[in-house]
Amino acid sequence: MAGDEVESCEHGTFRSLGRTKLLQIKKKKAPELKDRIAQVWKGKSATTLPDTIYEIELQTDLPLKIGDAITSLSRIGAGTTIRNCSFHACGRVMVKSPDSSIENNQFSYSNAVAIHAGSDIGFWAESGFARNLTIRNNCFSHCMTGANSLFAGSDALGTIYVGMTPPLQAKGFQKNFENRNVTIEGNKIDDAYIYAIFVTNADGVKIIGNAIGKTFVRGSAFAAGQLYGIKPDSGIFIGMSRNAEIRNNTVAKGTVAKTPVAIDPTCPKNTIAIRDNRLS
C-alpha cells in the first residue's frame, strides 16, 4: 500500500538494489502483457493473476529491470519474537522478518527443519531476507525426521537453516549475501537427521557456543548437498557467506561428521574467522 517501505531485488541473483517508499499504487488488467508476465514467473511458482499488473510510483528511483522484484518491508512481521515455546512433531518455524529473535524454545521431532529463516523469493516470490536475527538458547532433539532433506534437490539442510529458496532448476548457491546480522548462539542440538546448522547467503554471521550431538543419525547423508555440489562431512556448514565468526562450538563425531565446521569455497576466506571449535 501507499506509504510502505519497499526493497528491490535483482532478477537472477536476488541481491538488493536499494530501498525507498511506495507513494502510489494502482491495480489494472493488461491482457496484452500476459505472455510477458508468464516469462517473468518462469522457474517460480506460477502466478494466479496472469494478466494483472500494478502501476506504482516510488519516492526515489531504483535501477529496476524486467524480472526484478519488489517486496514490502512494512508487511513481513518486523520485530517478531518467539520465546519460551515448545514445538513437538511440527513442520517448522519459519521466520522471514527483520529484527526478530527465537529464544529459549524446545523443538522435538520436527518433520522438516526446525527453524527456517530467510527468504522464499527464489521460487515462491515471497518476502525479503532475514536481517538482525537472533537464534539463542534453544533445545533441539530429533529434528528433520522426514526424508525430503536427503534428496539431491533439497535446499534446506539444517536443523537450524538460514538461507533462501532457490528458483526451480537452480544449481549451486545464489550469488547474494542478503541475510544480514545473524546470530546463532548457545543452542543445544542432538540427534539431527541432517546438519545441525546450515547458513547460506549471509553477511555478518555469528555461530558461537552451540553444543551439537549426533548429526545425520541415519548413518548416511544419502544425496543431501548435491544441489550445492557439496558432500556433507560436518555438523555446521556455511556457504556463500562473508564476515562470519564461528567459535566455541562442539560437535559429536559420527559416520558423516568428521569435522565440526565446513566452509564452502563460495565464502571469501579473508572474511571468515574460525577458532576453538571441537569434535567430541
The predicted structure's pLDDT at residue 266:
98
CA atoms within 13 A on the CB side of 158: 24
Contact 51, 29 (CB under 8 A): yes
User: Of 68-77, 122-131, 171-180, which one has max mean pLDDT?
Assistant: 171-180
CA-CA distance, 263 to 198, in Å (whole number)? 10
pLDDT of 179 above 90 = yes
pLDDT of 108 above 90 = yes
The count of other CB atoms within 10 Å of the CB of residue 165 is 22
pLDDT of 91 above 90 = no
The predicted structure's pLDDT at residue 140:
98
CA-CA distance, 94 to 23, in Å (whole number)? 30
Mean pLDDT to the nearest integer, 242-250: 98
Mean pLDDT to the nearest integer, 11-37: 95
CA-CA distance, 145 to 137, in Å (whole number)? 22
Contact 96, 127 (CB under 8 A): yes
- What percentage of the chain has pLDDT greater than the value 70? 100
**R_g of the chain, CA atoms, integer Å:** 19
The predicted structure's pLDDT at residue 149:
85
The predicted structure's pLDDT at residue 75:
87
The predicted structure's pLDDT at residue 97:
86
* Full DSSP string of 229-244: T----EEEEEEEEEEE
Q: Can you give the three-state secondary structure of the chain, one letter per residue? A: CCCCEEEEECCCCCCEEEEEEEEEEEEEECHHHHHHHHHHCCCCCCCCCCCEEEEEEECCCCCCCCCCEEEECCCCCCCCEEECCEEECCCCEEECCCCEEEECCEEECCCCCCEEEEEECCCCCECCCCEEEEEECCEEECCCCCCHHHCCCCCCCEEEEEEECCCCCCCCCCCCCCEEEEEEECCEEECCCCEEEEEEEEEEEEEECCEECCCCCCCCCCCCCHHHCCCCCEEEEEEEEEEEEEECCEECCCCCCCEEEEECCCCCHHHEEEECCEEC
pLDDT tens digit sequence for 199-243 = 999 999 999 999 999 999 999 999 999 999 999 999 999 999 999
CA atoms within 13 A on the CB side of 76: 26
The predicted structure's pLDDT at residue 96:
86
- Distance, C-alpha 188 to centroid of its chain: 20
The predicted structure's pLDDT at residue 254:
96
- What percentage of the chain has pLDDT greater than the value 90? 85
Cell of 122: 527464489
Residue 155 has what DSSP assignment? -
